[in-house]
Chain A
């Protein structure tokens, strides 16, 4: 047995009581603050559900073609989406997609400025990195509980949990992408009298874009990975089907919903990756012309 050095129970009570106090006094304020998030999610979801299914399929096939200029990926995209529809999972897939898109957009809005700020300040980088490590390694249930306590079960805690889980790679890769920009190019800009802002906007961000896009790709994948857990706290969508499959011991339901998630993952992963590669070729960072 590890000897008790001091009593930790008061600390734990203090944390629990503190949280309870926050929930009681600040719960509504938090919910109001998160309202724009919910609004964004509902708008995206409503929009996607109102669009006929074939329009969505054509859209993704078109994006896949634009990214690769080949027919292989668009074919895979069409088949995967048709499969999702055939398995009677279309609406659930759209809900999951809406959750993922909302989480990704929100993550981008927060992570890009943070990543950029980190790349310009060693101090900030030193402060933020351990927080990112914590966000990535802490089991999601640990922060899920307080979030649910504050917001109540539903879509908001699901979104927030997804964002906490999916943001770190984007912040890191934005920071890395900007730091990686060739010193000689920046020196040339400096010699021509560029301001720090001109360097950032004209050189660092464009040259970091392929790396940032890789971060966006990771964020979407991690957001998708979160859907099952998010469904436990009321996000609905494919994750909920998986959960029901488990609950009712209906292997087929779980399997189908799982395949649906895989289909979405393939579509988003391949399309964002192909766009990243295209961008890299355009910039001339990769060998192929």
Chain B
């Protein structure tokens, strides 16, 4: 992962309705989403949203239903135009594109996976996976070859000739995923891609996505309303409320320091031991020699047993160099569900 921003949203505001200027003015005066809706009948979809997704990162946007997640992700490939603000993808200003340039951008630079799959019911799996390539004008043999490859990688071999309605939900979403991956774009947009699936199948899909990402290194913007999903797959998370970003940070940051009660509500039910890594809570001054050391990405759950025999556990960076240590006390303090973090 490097720090090059791939998706940049700057001060995006989206008003649904026929008088956006009036609503915009009210927002500037400090009115809330509900007040604007009451006064003008305009719906605030997004309010001054800025975020930047780095190359190779899985960036998760999380929020309750109606918080504007779908609206946000649809701005990235301009399925929705913002009322104000600017959007750059791969340093291209996508708001300045004409229709043809926009189509080319959608065909080569971004692919999307949808909550309700959006598969073509009249086509078999093979032609569904090849759909984006077909739209782009690839030859039949070439696109079928690529489609076969991705069908195999997502584990659907043998289903090439099935229709979407003959598949289970999980299988259908694998088709959706393969269709997006077949485009070989650097950016992948996933709008609640796994939300329609059973918990067990969902966690299987999450695993598969992480596995694929290990070799693909795409820039992924992932939408979910499920905090567990967010912390499981997200390198960074933005929490959305009523169209506003209320907190952005790494999963641990958000769990350890929720910005307000809204975020705290999500954080409360999380199994902290599995999420918080020792690197986030280590004591940098603690450098005296000790018997065991663990990498900084080790979870609290995994270091806890070590404290049965050791008072201190050393923490190593990615290169194996000692960067500090943690004590049982620190780990317990991080795991405790205190709310003093909310200030």
Total A-B residue contacts, Cβ distance less than 8 Å: 68
B276 contacts partner chain A, Cβ-Cβ < 8 Å: no
Residue of A nearest to B104 (CB): A193
Known pairs A188-B114, A192-B111, A193-B104; A284 contacts B121 (CB<8 A): yes
Which of B79, B119, B131, B166 touches A187 (beta carbons < 8 Å)?
B79
Residues on B with beta carbons closer than 8 Å to the beta carbon of A191: 77, 79, 106, 110-112, 114, 189
Residues on A with beta carbons closer than 8 Å to the beta carbon of B103: 193-195
Residue of A nearest to B107 (CB): A193
Residues on B with beta carbons closer than 8 Å to the beta carbon of A282: 122, 163
Residue of B nearest to A286 (CB): B165
B163 and A284 within 8 A (CB): yes
B121 and A283 within 8 A (CB): yes
Query: Min CB distance, B205 to chain A, in Å?
Result: 18
Known contacts A192-B107, A194-B103, A283-B163, then 20 further A-B pairs from the complex at CB < 8 Å, ordered by chain A residue? A185-B118, A188-B118, A188-B119, A189-B131, A190-B79, A190-B106, A192-B131, A192-B132, A192-B136, A193-B104, A194-B135, A198-B135, A206-B122, A282-B122, A284-B163, A284-B165, A284-B166, A285-B121, A289-B165, A289-B166
Which of A241-283 touch B at CB < 8 Å?
A: 282-283
A-B contact pairs, 29 of them (CB 8 A): A184-B116, A184-B118, A185-B121, A187-B79, A188-B114, A189-B135, A190-B106, A191-B77, A191-B106, A191-B111, A191-B114, A191-B189, A192-B112, A192-B136, A193-B103, A193-B104, A193-B105, A193-B107, A193-B132, A193-B135, A194-B103, A198-B135, A202-B120, A202-B134, A203-B120, A207-B122, A282-B122, A284-B165, A284-B166
Residues on A with beta carbons closer than 8 Å to the beta carbon of B120: 185, 202-203
Number of interface residues of A (CB under 8 A): 21
B256 contacts partner chain A, Cβ-Cβ < 8 Å: no
Number of interface residues of B (CB under 8 A): 29
Complex-state Cα separation, A193 to B78, whole angstroms: 11
B122 and A192 within 8 A (CB): no
B53 contacts partner chain A, Cβ-Cβ < 8 Å: no
Residues on B with beta carbons closer than 8 Å to the beta carbon of A289: 165-166
Complex-state Cα separation, A56 to B114, whole angstroms: 50
Known pairs A191-B112, A284-B164; A207 contacts B121 (CB<8 A): yes
Residues on B with beta carbons closer than 8 Å to the beta carbon of A189: 131, 135
Complex-state Cα separation, A284 to B128, whole angstroms: 14
B118 and A283 within 8 A (CB): no
With a 10 A CB-CB cut-off, give which of A193, A203, A206, A283 has the most chain B CB atoms: A193
